[in-house]
Amino acid sequence: MALHFKCCPSELDTEQVLDYPHDVKNKHKTPSESFFKHTVYGLRSLYKLLGIVDKHISLPQIERSKKLPVVLSQEAIKRFLSTPKLLKHRLIIGLLYGCGLRRFELLNIDIQDIDLYRKMLHIRQGKDRKDRYVPLGVLLCKGLKIYLGVEQPKRWLFYRKDGQGNLLPYSESGVQWVIKTTRKLSSINKAITTHSLRHSYATHLLEQGLDIVSLKELLGHAAIETTMIYLHVSQLGKEKAFSPLDRIYGIDTLS
């Protein structure tokens, strides 16, 4: 922006400030709108730092993505979970789905956060620095009990060692490798990520009867509007959604 106008952005008038981001959004040929977003976020930070309120207010709003999340069926989840040979990898996938964890929340699990007696997991400092509890359930507790007995982690549930032998939290790239490798071996033709498992967790809970307010708390969402997106992908109601094409040909939609 400074190169375009040949001056500091703080010296531009409101019309120039508005024109440039819109020009970037409409004409800049990139595979996403990230360039536009970074321009707006950068300007907001600059004007906040300089105390220029009027220009900050006049900046365009960043539209939130309206894409629906990728959700796996319950059968696909069972298939995905049974694919890895190592218990550690099955637990990584199991906790991401079974507790609806974000990737960084998984990596931050301390062994003291696991309550096998109450079958609960304490998630500390999640998004927006909020703590919350989520149920672990019977199956995850069984797997964790075996894993803790064999691995005997000292602090983090999942860990790695650096070149000097020091213990560090398991890496994000390590989790991504587990998901990518498992997807390939399972032959599931969906773009599965750690967040796909979280989306599936939320959707399946709604389909199994959990109310939207309780789901909001389990996911650690700040606003109910964020949680409500799962109402669009959940198959709720007395009867499962179906294609009318099947009905006119007398095909059993429940099979």
221 is catalytic: yes
230 is catalytic: yes
Q: What is the DSSP letter of 228?
A: G
Active-site residue, from 88, 122, 190, 221: 221
C-alpha count within 13 angstroms, C-beta hemisphere, residue 246: 8
Active-site residue, from 20, 170, 201, 230: 230
H or E, element range at 133: strand 132-135
Which tokens belong to 161? 């060692």
Point out which residues pair with 114 in neighbouring strands: 121
Active-site residue, from 25, 37, 56, 102: 102
Alpha-carbon gap, residue 141 to 101, rounded angstroms: 16
Active-site residue, from 89, 183, 198, 216: 198
102 is catalytic: yes
195 is catalytic: yes
Alpha-carbon gap, residue 146 to 67, rounded angstroms: 39
129 is catalytic: no
Q: What is the DSSP letter of 29?
A: -
Between helix 137-151 and helix 87-98 the angle, nearest 10°, is 140
Active-site residue, from 127, 133, 159, 190: 127
198 is catalytic: yes
Which residues are the active-site residues? 102, 127, 195, 198, 221, 230
